[in-house]
Structure 1
Amino acid sequence: MSTPKNAPEGPGHRPLFSSEESFGKQEAEGSGLCDETAVAAIAGVPVLTAVKDSLQKP
């Protein structure tokens, strides 16, 4: 997860957001960064990611 410079860290603090370089075939199949994305989302951390055109629904 991305943590801005000088952001508080440790127990009781969470990142402001999580960013992923790309949501691709591995994530679509349930592997890759899928678990990390789910953990961030469940913790209430906004997740920003790019999705390949070929994986987007029409």
Structure 2
Amino acid sequence: MSKKVLILSSSPRKNGNSDLLCNEFMRGAAEAYGVGAWKVGEINDKPSMHEAYEMGKKV
């Protein structure tokens, strides 16, 4: 499932705390959604595989 994420930073200071938090959120979201996994099997042993497994157990 592909999701779009919009991140808005309202910090008046470039590279301030809000920007740093937004960047870290973006990094986590990119990892969770499997960015960069284009070929078959590339997602094996990635955190998103374990997360998907755990989510499936809760159904």
Q: Tell me the TM-score normalized by structure 1.
A: 0.33
Larger proportion of strand: 1
Q: Work out which structure has the larger RCO, using CA pairs closer than 8 Å and 6 or more positions apart in sequence.
A: 1
**The structure with more radius of gyration:** 2
